[in-house]
Amino acid sequence: MPSSPPPTAPAAVSLRQAFVFWLKLGFISFGGPAGQIALLHQELVEKRRWISERRFLHALNYCMLLPGPEAQQLATYIGWLMHRSWGGIIAGGLFVLPSLFILSGLSWLYLALGQLPLVAGLFYGIKPAIVAIVLQAALRIGQRTLKNRLLWSLAAASFVALALFGLPFPLIVLAAAAVGYLAGQRHPALFAGTRGSHGQSTTASGPALIDDDTPTPAHARFSLAGLLRVLLAGSLLWAVPLLLLLSHYGWQHPFTQMGWFFTKAALLTFGGAYAVLPYVYQGAVSHYGWLSAGQMMDGLALGESTPGPLIMVVAFVGFVGGYQHVAGSTPWLAGAMAACLVTWFTFLPSFLFILAGGPLIERTHGTLSLTAPLTAITAAVVGVIANLALFFGWHALWPQGWQAGPDWPAVLLALAAALALLRYKVGVIPVLAAAALCGWLLRL
């Protein structure tokens, strides 16, 4: 019986074909970072064979070391590797733009119709579910990260630092990095084996367009001139818009403050969106007052139920802040402008990390290991997210304060959502939908 011929590599993919794929992906990328990475693996490694398993994981390991949304950065990296800088910009941009448009529209509907009984009832049910979702995130990261007493201690210390002392998030990140660096010098075994490879399959489905032994394309090879060009372009793309905002509106205007604040937030998102949400809360709610704590929870619910990176919740923060606090302009237009500004300053660093660092990473195809400081930061992030669950739980389950007692229907909804997520492994979208329906029925 004749054997079947070995599979051949897929045909070359044009930039136009890639554009259509990345556009489609932007509308179906639900499920948070893990789900989005799994979707990219299924589409690009298993189904289309645009990139091999080993090259995919190599790029993923690099993106996991960076601040910012790793799934969006991974799409940017693969787009850049296939079609130069424009390919990376298209892949990363289309990962974000559909979510920006959808969230901006939902934010406007939320502000315009949020007081209607129907909408109020839906969000009444969603808020307790958000408490369970954030708690699930803390448990998931903790199970993967907290492998010894030192890492557990870092998580507990970060929780106490936020919950009892209200220390700023950047200080906690820096302190954890310092502890990790010092401990790693003396006891490197404490930080060995603390990160997996996301459980990706190692089954080869045939040769890939960018295979294990495919030479690095000319545009992906490192050169000092290329690095300087990317850094110069990135600096101008950041500085020029910020200087225009400063000259036109002044330093204290919400637009200018949003540009500066979300630039800092973009550089602190180690550990994913849940890790940076406490910092966004501290700034957007407590310091600037762009939106309320309840609105922040509603925005997280919208971010969980729309495609794109979860950190796109910052577009909701910007829209609400612009809608409510920018005088002299049509509210919806001010909100849309703020959402676009916030998205620009949040995601610009991610593109620079890939376009500037990608050629350095392509010089070797070995696996990148997580350094001790970044392992320590991830441990601290567990405590930060646990504090976020406590904060959301307080506002959702004790809305009238401690003396008035808990809102028992909300408590039961939170427990049911936690049971569905943790015990029965139900997806986030079905849990949010069921919670919204229950909230609406309770408010009838």
The region that residue 166 occupies, defined by phi over 0 for left and psi between -120 and 50 for alpha, beta otherwise, is left
Show me where the domains of the chain are located: 15-195+223-443
- Structure tokens of 389? 């669950």
Q: Which residues contact 405 (CB under 8 A, 6 or more apart)?
A: 398
The per-residue pLDDT for 205 is: 64
pLDDT of 444 above 60: yes
The per-residue pLDDT for 5 is: 63
The per-residue pLDDT for 271 is: 59
Vertex 424 angle, CA 99 and 426, to 5°: 15
Taken in order 334, 340, 343, 349, the sign of the CA dihedral is: negative
Rounded mean pLDDT, 144-165: 91
Question: Is residue 23 classed as helix, strand or coil in its secondary structure?
Answer: helix
Question: Is residue 210 classed as helix, strand or coil in its secondary structure?
Answer: strand
Which is nearest to 93 in space by CA: 341, 361, 314, 308?
308
Taking CA atoms, 399 is separated from 112, 122, 405, 422, 433, in Å, by: 23, 16, 9, 25, 22
Taken in order 417, 420, 422, 425, the sign of the CA dihedral is: negative
Comparing 69-78, 208-217, 299-308, the range with the smallest average pLDDT is 299-308
pLDDT tens digits for range 203-239:
456 788 998 888 888 999 999 999 999 999 999 999 9
Categorize the per-residue pLDDT at 15 as very low, low, confident or very high, splitting at 50, 70 and 90: very high
What DSSP character marks residue 391? H
